[in-house]
């Protein structure tokens, strides 16, 4: 089917203008999103080390817990036991050290162990917020705003993104068939940008469609669920209670969330890479601890959710002892062979409905969160309370929704898929950069053809913003991780935010002060220098991370990116 020429031109105009409006926001979202695939190793590296004895065995964990409860009675309401702590820094037993208070101080987690004589050792841990900041930057498309308005704007950008994808396919697909692999690097600058943009856009189209649609849902999930509750009240909406109580998981899901910049998002409920989740002490303290979002957001919601299942219809006598970790693991192994538990989060809800959330993964199935799923058991009887977020054991409607989230997170297929998402994320960022450059080159050509000697203000503005925002984003994120070793606690949210936006604004300002090819070369070179410092800082302050595949991946990717930026600086040797 051949479209009329005026229709094709209309779709091209829509694609160009919508892409221009959303392109710079999307560059930040995709570049930061690619970095978040390394969130867990970066979080582990950035957090300051602690002096803990080697973790006790799981069999001795009840002894450790008993001594911790005697010294710190507040632990009883919410504590976490790591099943497989890699080293002493992780700790076998942790809990929230904030005392349930929301404030602006750095997040504090208390970690406990036993020394050689069996004495209790409790040390505070303050996880770095560097990786969490990059994740929030990804979610909020770089906007330094409170979470709610930023997510609304992100949703609008995602809608524009979807429109740009559809209009681009309609307008350019017929011509792409002829010139798909004809990347004319040696010809005009406009043709080079056009061919690179078309090639990247077409081959990553399914990925971009998934990102666009899922981002719209994440941005407006609150309004969607409010509308659902309005249209389907009482019993019908109540069937989805698991979704409302604990189903707003996913990277951008979760009910109301505190403003990340305020520090309130790290106590009680913490959102890092997988929607809302329990505080650092009640899940993993590293920031990519999967989908613990809001299965039990509060004791009231947790109690009401637990009461929905038949196994908990009657309250369990409170005098029954809490099951030991080894007993919980044995029950999980029988219930779900193949599921690998990593974290046990015990929560005291009262009325005999105390629960333990078992976080882990099953490599055979996609997961709702970035790195895994969880099941909820009664911590005194072992009865299963909820398996709605358990990989491979979900009802059909939840399994379908989980597949949707998994496509956004890349939480399926193991390391190869995650590496694929890193490449697709970086390629997506470059796609938006080439789209803006293509518009600028085309606009300059039309201005010269019409006899305009000095380029217009709009062209200068977009050219400076494109160069400043893209190089500023790359350099800002690199600067955050370069600054981690010298920042207190590995960087509080406010500190890393100040580092990023200072560098970002510096690059944007320089782009306006240094227009033309000289400015582009300097900014690309400067971004390359800052990015090249990331593997250097890893070597100097994180040799243990370089002994892991993920750590080597971070260093290798940073080195490649810096080389790419240096090559781009050398390439810009003449005026476009």
Q: What is the Cα–Cα distance from 48 to 483, expressed in whole angstroms?
A: 13
CB atoms within 10 A of CB 533: 18
b/e for 142-165, b at 16 or more Cβ within 10 A? Answer: bbeeebeebbebbbbbbbbbbbbb
pLDDT of 249 over the 50 cut: no
pLDDT tens-digit profile of 32-43? 999 999 888 888
| Closest to 402 (Cα-Cα) out of 297, 249, 276 | 249
pLDDT tens-digit profile of 84-112? 876 556 678 999 876 554 444 556 789 99
The two structure tokens encoding residue 112: 């406990």
For 491: left if phi > 0, alpha if psi spans -120 to 50, otherwise beta; the answer is left
Burial class (CB in 10 A: 0-12, 13-18, 19+), 395: exposed
Lowest mean pLDDT among 170-179, 199-208, 224-233, 483-492: 170-179
- Where is 214: in which H helix or E strand? helix 205-219
pLDDT of 166 over the 50 cut: yes
Lowest mean pLDDT among 249-253, 331-335, 355-359: 249-253
- Three-state DSSP class for residue 71: helix
Measured N-to-C along each axis, helices 189-203 and 205-219 cross at an angle, to the nearest 10 degrees, of: 70
Across the range 297-306, mean pLDDT stands at 36
Find the Cα–Cα–Cα–Cα dihedral 320, 324, 325, 327, rounded to 10°: -90
The two structure tokens encoding residue 523: 């900014």
Across the range 415-433, mean pLDDT stands at 92
% of the chain residues with pLDDT over 70:
77
Q: What is the Cα–Cα distance from 123 to 110, expressed in whole angstroms?
A: 6
Three-state SS string over 218-265 comes to: HHCHHHHHHHHHHHCCHHHHHCCHHHHHHCCCCCCCCCCCCCHHHCCC
pLDDT tens-digit profile of 522-532? 999 999 999 99
pLDDT of 254 over the 70 cut: no
CB atoms within 10 A of CB 215: 25
Q: Share the mean pLDDT of the chain.
A: 78
pLDDT tens-digit profile of 55-85? 888 999 999 999 999 999 989 899 999 998 7
Query: Is residue 50 a contact partner of residue 89, using CB atoms and an 8 Å limit?
Result: yes
Lowest mean pLDDT among 101-105, 322-326, 562-566: 101-105
For residue 407, the number of C-alpha atoms closer than 13 Å in the C-beta half-sphere is: 15
Query: Is residue 332 a contact partner of residue 339, using CB atoms and an 8 Å limit?
Result: yes
pLDDT of 476 over the 80 cut: yes
Q: Specify the pLDDT at position 343.
A: 92
Q: What is the Cα–Cα distance from 416 to 536, expressed in whole angstroms?
A: 26
Query: Is residue 68 a contact partner of residue 346, using CB atoms and an 8 Å limit?
Result: no
Burial class (CB in 10 A: 0-12, 13-18, 19+), 43: buried
Confidence band for 140, pLDDT divided at 50, 70 and 90: very high
pLDDT of 54 over the 60 cut: yes
Q: Specify the pLDDT at position 404.
A: 78
CB atoms within 10 A of CB 1: 3
Query: Is residue 389 a contact partner of residue 375, using CB atoms and an 8 Å limit?
Result: yes
pLDDT of 291 over the 60 cut: no
Confidence band for 265, pLDDT divided at 50, 70 and 90: very low
Q: Specify the pLDDT at position 319.
A: 65
Report DSSP state, residue 92.
S
Q: Specify the pLDDT at position 109.
A: 87
Q: Which residue has the higher pLDDT, 21 or 240?
A: 21
- Maximum average pLDDT range among 28-32, 199-203, 253-257, 317-321: 28-32
Query: Is residue 279 a contact partner of residue 266, using CB atoms and an 8 Å limit?
Result: yes
Confidence band for 452, pLDDT divided at 50, 70 and 90: confident
Q: Which residue has the higher pLDDT, 301 or 27?
A: 27
Q: Specify the pLDDT at position 44.
A: 82
Across the range 254-280, mean pLDDT stands at 33
Sequence-distant (≥ 6) Cβ neighbours of residue 43 within 8 angstroms: 127, 128, 130, 131, 132, 286, 287, 288
Q: Specify the pLDDT at position 459.
A: 86
Measured N-to-C along each axis, helices 457-483 and 549-571 cross at an angle, to the nearest 10 degrees, of: 150
Three-state SS string over 359-428 comes to: EEECCCCCCCCCCCEEEEEECCCCCEEECCCCCCCCCHHHHHHHHHHHHHHCCCCCHHHHHHHHHHHHHH
The two structure tokens encoding residue 417: 């898929």
């Amino acid at each position: 089917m051949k479209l009329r020429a005026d229709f094709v031109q209309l779709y091209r105009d829509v694609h160009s203008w919508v892409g221009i409006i959303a392109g710079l926001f999307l560059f930040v979202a995709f570049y930061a999103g690619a970095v978040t695939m390394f969130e867990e190793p970066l979080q582990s590296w950035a957090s300051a080390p602690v002096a803990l004895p080697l973790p006790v065995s799981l069999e001795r964990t009840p002894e450790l817990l008993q001594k911790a409860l005697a010294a710190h009675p507040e632990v009883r309401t919410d504590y976490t036991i790591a099943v497989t702590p890699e080293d002493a820094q992780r700790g076998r037993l942790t809990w929230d050290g904030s005392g349930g208070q929301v404030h602006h101080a750095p997040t504090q987690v208390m970690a406990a162990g036993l020394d050689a004589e069996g004495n209790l050792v409790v040390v505070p841990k303050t996880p770095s917020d560097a990786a969490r900041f990059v994740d929030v930057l990804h979610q909020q498309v770089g906007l330094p705003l409170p979470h709610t308005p930023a997510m609304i704007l992100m949703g609008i950008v995602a809608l524009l993104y979807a429109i740009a994808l559809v209009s681009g396919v309609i307008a350019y697909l017929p011509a792409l068939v002829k010139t798909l692999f004809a990347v004319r690097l040696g010809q005009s600058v406009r043709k080079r940008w056009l061919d690179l943009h078309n090639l990247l856009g077409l081959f990553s189209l399914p990925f971009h469609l998934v990102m666009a649609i899922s981002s719209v849902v994440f941005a407006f999930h609150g309004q969607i669920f409010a509308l659902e509750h309005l249209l389907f009240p009482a019993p019908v909406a109540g069937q989805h209670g698991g979704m409302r109580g604990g189903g707003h998981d996913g990277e951008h899901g979760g009910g109301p969330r505190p403003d990340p910049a305020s520090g309130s998002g790290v106590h009680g409920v913490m959102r890092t890479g997988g929607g809302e989740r329990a505080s650092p002490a009640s899940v993993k303290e590293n920031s990519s601890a999967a989908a613990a979002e809001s299965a039990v957001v509060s004791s009231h919601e947790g109690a009401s959710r637990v009461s929905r299942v038949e196994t908990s219809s009657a309250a369990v006598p409170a005098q029954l002892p809490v099951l030991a970790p080894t007993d919980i693991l044995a029950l999980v192994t029988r219930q779900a062979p193949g599921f690998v538990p990593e974290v046990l989060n015990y929560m005291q809800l009262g009325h005999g409905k105390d629960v333990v959330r078992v976080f882990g993964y099953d490599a055979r199935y996609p997961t709702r969160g970035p790195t895994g799923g969880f099941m909820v058991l009664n911590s005194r009887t072992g009865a299963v309370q909820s398996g709605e977020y358990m990989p491979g054991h979900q009802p059909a409607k939840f399994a379908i929704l989980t597949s949707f989230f998994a496509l956004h997170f890349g939480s399926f297929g193991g390391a190869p898929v995650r590496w694929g998402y890193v490449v697709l994320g970086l390629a997506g960022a470059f796609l938006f950069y080439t789209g803006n450059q293509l518009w600028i080159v085309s606009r300059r050509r039309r201005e010269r053809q019409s006899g305009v000697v000095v380029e217009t203000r709009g062209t200068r503005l977009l050219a400076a913003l494109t160069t400043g925002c893209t190089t500023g984003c790359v350099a800002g994120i690199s600067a955050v991780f370069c600054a981690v070793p010298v920042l207190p606690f590995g960087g509080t949210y406010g500190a890393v935010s100040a580092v990023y936006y200072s560098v970002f604004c510096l690059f944007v300002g320089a782009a306006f002060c240094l227009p033309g090819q000289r400015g582009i070369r300097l900014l690309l070179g400067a971004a390359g220098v800052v990015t090249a410092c990331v593997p250097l800082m890893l070597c100097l302050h994180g040799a243990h991370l370089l002994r892991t595949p993920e750590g080597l991946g971070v260093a290798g990717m940073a080195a490649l990116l810096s080389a790419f930026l240096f090559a781009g600086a050398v390439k810009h040797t003449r005026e476009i």
